[in-house]
Amino acid sequence: MRILVVGAGATGGAFGSRLIEAGREVTFLVRPARAAALRRDGLRFTAPDGTRTHQVAVLTAEELAAAPQVFDLVILTVKAPALEAAIGDLRPAVGERTVVLPILNGLAHLARLEREFGPRVLGALAMIVATLDDGAVVQLTGWSDLTIGDGAPEVARALDVPGIRLAVSADVTGALWAKWAFIAAAGIVCCLFRSPVGPVLRAGGESHVRAIIAETEAVAAAAEHPVPAQSHERTESVLLDPDSAMTSSLYRDLLAGLPNEAEHILGDLAARARDLGVATPLLDLTLVQVRADAVQRG
């Protein structure tokens, strides 16, 4: 398959690197500055299994618009604030048989993409801990999971490569809700207490963390997508570890003053909670804090 990865940040860079290493035909659609850096320096990728640099095929939106080419699979890895711009950028790459695979947090992006690309959109979610460090993609742990909806076996074959733990789910919406409940809980813990997970627990915050987990999972249950026991146990193992240095990506973006997914992850969840009649006082309190931060930053 001809694969276009939209974005070469932490998620796109990590999964794209794994696909390249498995011999897949991968092109990255990126902003001009990132394109220039990738053409000059290659894609630097560090993971628990080593460090390497890949020479990669790169396109900018302007180049794709000037010479449209259709891809078999478009993997969308931008963050929510960049979604609208990315949709405009990738349109020339989508044909009648193209599969659009969005790897974004939350659920709001799916309705938007389905309005744009209809049945070509295949639900997906990733669980990976990665970041950018001076342009290099750094996968911080061995956690590199990708779940996609069923019905596209050719996509599953293309993505089933070493370094990516691939799962095909008959209920990808349920899986998206389970992830959303987890990342929202992690975001609330870190943003509300302005701390990594471990110090919150060591400071006596366990009961509050448990209440946060209960809030986000209650919204999922009210939406008729209860979080499975295995996912709940994984959430507790991560968010109730007093030795953990884990921080949420939302918290890291807030600290760095970067565009963030607060509204996509927390705001949308709070709105759905209100519609469903679920009380979420700790979520609501956190939203006030992150919105106040945005007001101060202008």
Which H or E run includes 52?
Answer: strand 50-54
| Predicted pLDDT at 193 | 97
Q: What is the pLDDT of residue 297?
A: 83
- Asked: is 174-297 a CATH 1.50.10.10 domain? The reply is no
Q: Which amino acid is at 194?
A: R
The amino acid sitting at 158 is A
At 280 the three-state DSSP class reads: coil
CA distances from 281 to 108, 188, 229, 266 (A): 22, 11, 24, 12
Q: What is the pLDDT of residue 106?
A: 92
Contact assessment for residue 51 and residue 41, using Cβ atoms and an 8 Å cutoff: no
At residue 100, the 3 state secondary structure works out as strand
Cβ atoms 187, 270 nearer than 8 A: no
Closest residue by Cα to residue 89 from 15, 135, 31, 25: 31
Instruction: Supply the DSSP symbol for 121.
Output: B
| Beta carbons of 89 and 61 less than 8 angstroms apart | yes
78: left (phi over 0), alpha (psi -120 to 50) or beta: beta
Report the C-alpha gap between 264 and 261 in whole angstroms: 5
Who's near 85: CB < 8 A, 6+ residues apart? none
pLDDT 10s digits, 257-288: 888 999 999 999 999 999 999 999 999 999 99
Residue 297: burial class (beta carbons within 10 Å; 0-12, 13-18, 19+): exposed
Task: Please give the pLDDT value at position 60.
Answer: 98
CB burial string 19-39: b at 16+ within 10 A, e below: bbeeebebbbbbeeebbebbe
Domain residue limits, the chain = 2-170, 174-297
Give the DSSP letter string of 238-263: HHT-TT-----HHHHHHHHT----HI
CATH number of this structure's domain 2-170, picked from the four choices 1.20.1090.10, 3.40.50.720, 3.40.47.10, 3.90.180.10: 3.40.50.720
Collect the ranges in the chain with pLDDT lower than 70. Answer: none
Encoded tokens for 130: 């990665």
